[in-house]
Amino acid sequence: MASFHEVEYMEEPRRRRKRRRRRRRGWGRAAALLLIAALGFAAYKFRGGLSGFSLPVKLSLDNTDTRFDYGLEALEAQISGGMSIGECGAQEAEELRQLAKEHSAWADELEFMARHIDIYSEEAVVTAINGVEKTPFALLSAFRAPDASGLDVRIEVSEGEVPYLLQYDSRWCYHAYGSSVMGFTACGPTCLSMAAIGLTGNTSYTPAYVADRAEAGGHYVMDAGTAWSLFTAGSAEYGLRCETIVVNKDTMKDRLESGAVLIAAMSPGDFTTSGHFIVIVGTGLGGFKVYDPNSIERSERSWSFSRLEGQIAQLWSLTYAGSAQAQDGGQEFAGGTYIADCEEFITLRSAPDVNAAAITTIPRGGEMTLLGFEGAFAQVEYQGRRGYVLSTYIVPKNDSAVPASAFGYGELEAGLQRLAQEHPGEVEISSIGTSLEGRELYAAVVGDEGARYELLIQGGIHGREYISAYLVFSQLEHMLEQGVPEDVRCHFIPMVNPDGVEISRSRALGQAQREVYLAELVSGLTELAESEYAAQWKANAAGVDLNRNFDAGWAQLEGGAASSAGCKGAAPEDQPESRALAEYTRSVMPDAAVSYHSSGSLIYAEYAGATAEVNAASRSLGEALGGAADYPLAETEGLDAGGYKDWAASELGIPSVTVELGYGEDPQRLGACAVVRQRNENAPYIAAGWLREYGAG
């Protein structure tokens, strides 16, 4: 039988029914509008419009155990005078009692701790106050000695799942770690355990196991805590590759979407009052999904980028070393021992800035652990202190490949001859032309003819920047040793300007260059002594800057008189070196071009005269190379035109970037070669991977 309301509605007059329908439609439209507005406001918040907004996050606690077996009366009976440590007193006891009034579930335990405050350490009391759910662990800490528990714990996860684990899990919280036990000090090992299990599927990498390995590997610094080297170097023990990455929303999302797990070192804020590590495992409409090993509550909410950004002191991306992502040119030098290569000392600074506060100084020969690179700086750990030093003043402790002398034309010829002998049939070495003074302009090609992609890499176009020639040759040598990327043919032109390199390297001017010097000396354009002027020679032997001699905004350039730097020449490609490079590029028509210069430790990847499509591709290539070497992309507005990169991008439509190596004035220090090589040696592999991905897209 129909309900009363149904009958009433069916029997009412027709006009009344129509009014009710209209009224209900009006309310429906209003409700829909309110819903849309609410969703729009929520979306605004989700995108970081209000940093404090968050959504609840579903969190699996299947691999956590916070059950503790105790009785307060039994604990009371165990207390003896010898247990008093006197770290806390009446003030801490009062804080515990206030907390007990607010949390009835743990009132008895908190009152117990307050009553026996003298037996509790400061870290135990702070742990309970900052997270009342950890009260049982803190309560029992006075009665439990550090042990070896948790090594045989069973953790179960599905393939590709990152387990949520707690450092104060009852199964391993009293496992000895550093100066205390894991429940207090092991946020780092617990984070690495989550990442290692999630990326490799090996559930034997329990927090207790990782903690033991961290101590054995020297990644715990007494009175300081877990060193960042646990991730940069220690992660390799678990088959992982670790990269230091920038704190950037899009970068973080891209890494997570590609299967990486992120670990962040946190500054004081929402997560810690001193220092802490967390895992970032995913992203969604509400923000980032965080696994905090010390708080279930903080792990059950989303975190907007704007809320996290200011609290992340350092960020690492971890991938499984066997994955395709990790194999594309992975850098493995982080965590190595480096020494200060300087006259007296280098300054360890609080930030990657020469104006940042000095933490301490590191004397010549002082040893430090490399944590990662950031632009012109290296992040290092020295005697338990972490900070930044200029990377040009450090060298690997055991690097026999550091050149004994500056890399010149003779070294290039001898090196190419050696590679041809060591790798017969694997490298094609030819001359693409000759310099003004008759030196050969060598090209070395590796890879199968007819490969799907062609990559051109050139350096040494400026005389005083011969570190770039050294790098391009090193890349060629490395590729012959490691193997050529599939479907890519690589063209290496290490030294476009051999005459200029020899002038700078020898610090000696020929007759033509001396006339240029004397003219600039008389006109007041230089005050340098002749040898210093020669050392800073940038042009070719005719005094033309080859990287201002290409047809890309050339007509608008000033600088017609011969000089050590800045002269654009009489016409585009009027110099034998620039003409040879341009003709070779036109004959190959590479799919991408990379030019190496110095200095600055950054990348230029756009040109106003190129199409939006080519500029977008160049930026993408620059981001790939910069991500591997930890070089930022720089603004190109205001740069001089006439460069090879600009010409290749605008005239030929080739995605092109310029990578600036080193730091400070040129020529670069000889000691800078090792770090420059390490940061950029795999760049051809990165570019090859980019070509395959971008070409497929």
Letter string b/e over residues 203-212, b meaning 16 or more CB atoms within 10 A of that residue's CB: bebbbbbbbb
Q: What is the C-alpha to C-alpha distance for residues 170 and 137, in angstroms, rounded to an integer?
A: 7
* 325: pLDDT strictly greater than 80: no
Helix axes 683-696, 466-482, angle to 10 degrees: 70
Q: What is the C-alpha to C-alpha distance for residues 402 and 674, in angstroms, rounded to an integer?
A: 6
Residue 435: the pLDDT is 97
Collapsed DSSP state (helix, strand, coil) of residue 610: coil
Question: CA 440: distance to chain centroid?
Answer: 39
The neighbour count for residue 591, using CB atoms within 10 Å, is: 21
Tokens of 73: 């009366």
Q: Out of 8-22, 404-418, 674-688, pick the least confident.
A: 8-22
Q: What is the C-alpha to C-alpha distance for residues 386 and 374, in angstroms, rounded to an integer?
A: 14
Q: Work out the pLDDT band at 469, boundaries 50, 70, 90.
A: very high
Q: Out of 398-402, 546-550, 578-582, 638-642, pick the least confident.
A: 398-402
Q: What is the C-alpha to C-alpha distance for residues 296 and 298, in angstroms, rounded to an integer?
A: 6
**Between 477 and 217, where is the model more confident?**
477
Q: What is the C-alpha to C-alpha distance for residues 517 and 528, in angstroms, rounded to an integer?
A: 9
Q: Is 42 exposed, middle or buried (0-12, 13-18, 19+ CB in 10 A)?
A: middle
**Between 29 and 231, where is the model more confident?**
231
Question: Which residues, 6 or more positions from 228, have their beta carbon under 8 angstroms from its beta carbon?
Answer: 265, 314, 371, 379, 381, 386
What pLDDT digit, counting tens, does each position of 615-641 carry?
Answer: 999 999 999 898 888 899 987 765 668
Q: Given the DSSP bridges, would you call strands 428-434 and 276-284 parallel, antiparallel or unpaired?
A: unpaired
* 17: pLDDT strictly greater than 60: no
Q: What is the DSSP code string of 292-338?
A: -TT-HHHHTBEE-HHHHHTTEEEEEEEEETTSHHHHSS----TT-EE
CA-nearest of 569, 567, 560, 575 to 538 is 567
Residue 402: the pLDDT is 64
* 20: pLDDT strictly greater than 50: no
Residue 232: the pLDDT is 84
* Percent of the chain with pLDDT strictly greater than 70: 88
Residue 455: the pLDDT is 97
Q: What is the C-alpha to C-alpha distance for residues 394 and 14, in angstroms, rounded to an integer?
A: 90
Which residue shows structure tokens 């023990």? 237
Which runs of E-coded beta strand occur in 475-570?
Answer: 488-493
**345-349: strand order across its sheet:** 358-363, 345-349, 385-390, 377-382, 367-374, 337-340, 394-396
* 522: pLDDT strictly greater than 60: yes
Q: Given the DSSP bridges, would you call strands 287-291 and 312-320 parallel, antiparallel or unpaired?
A: unpaired
* 406: pLDDT strictly greater than 80: yes
Phi, psi of 13 (to 5 degrees): -60, 155
Q: Out of 231-240, 361-370, 393-402, pick the least confident.
A: 393-402
Which residue shows structure tokens 């490799």? 200
Q: What is the C-alpha to C-alpha distance for residues 465 and 408, in angstroms, rounded to an integer?
A: 11
Residue 505: the pLDDT is 95
Q: Work out the pLDDT band at 263, boundaries 50, 70, 90.
A: very high
* 11: pLDDT strictly greater than 60: no
Residue 315: the pLDDT is 93
Residue 586: the pLDDT is 97
> Could you tell me if 623 and 690 are in contact, meaning their C-beta atoms sit under 8 angstroms apart?
no
Q: What is the C-alpha to C-alpha distance for residues 456 and 591, in angstroms, rounded to an integer?
A: 8
What pLDDT digit, counting tens, does each position of 58-95 carry?
Answer: 999 999 999 999 999 999 999 998 999 999 999 999 99
* Mean pLDDT in residue range 655-682: 92
* 23: pLDDT strictly greater than 50: no
Q: Work out the pLDDT band at 165, boundaries 50, 70, 90.
A: very high
Residue 433: the pLDDT is 97
> What are the percentages of helix, strand and coil residues in the chain, rounded to 5?
40, 20, 40
Give, in order, the Cα–Cα distances in Å from 348 to each of 244, 394, 572, 610. Answer: 19, 12, 46, 41
Domains of the chain (ranges, CATH numbers): 72-140 (no CATH), 176-327 (3.90.70.10), 337-396 (2.30.30.40), 413-696 (3.40.630.10)
Q: Work out the pLDDT band at 259, boundaries 50, 70, 90.
A: very high
Q: What is the C-alpha to C-alpha distance for residues 151 and 177, in angstroms, rounded to an integer?
A: 13
Tokens of 563: 């000089």
* Average of per-residue pLDDT values in the chain: 88
* 49: pLDDT strictly greater than 60: no
Q: Out of 28-32, 66-70, 462-466, 657-661, pick the least confident.
A: 28-32
Residue 43: the pLDDT is 44
* 512: pLDDT strictly greater than 60: yes
Give, in order, the Cα–Cα distances in Å from 560 to each of 254, 555, 643. Answer: 47, 11, 16
The neighbour count for residue 273, using CB atoms within 10 Å, is: 9
**Between 48 and 273, where is the model more confident?**
273
Collapsed DSSP state (helix, strand, coil) of residue 96: helix
What pLDDT digit, counting tens, does each position of 336-393 carry?
Answer: 789 999 889 999 999 999 999 999 999 999 999 888 888 999 998 898 888 999 999 9
* Mean pLDDT in residue range 654-682: 93
Q: Work out the pLDDT band at 333, boundaries 50, 70, 90.
A: low
Give, in order, the Cα–Cα distances in Å from 354 to each of 48, 290, 661. Answer: 32, 33, 17
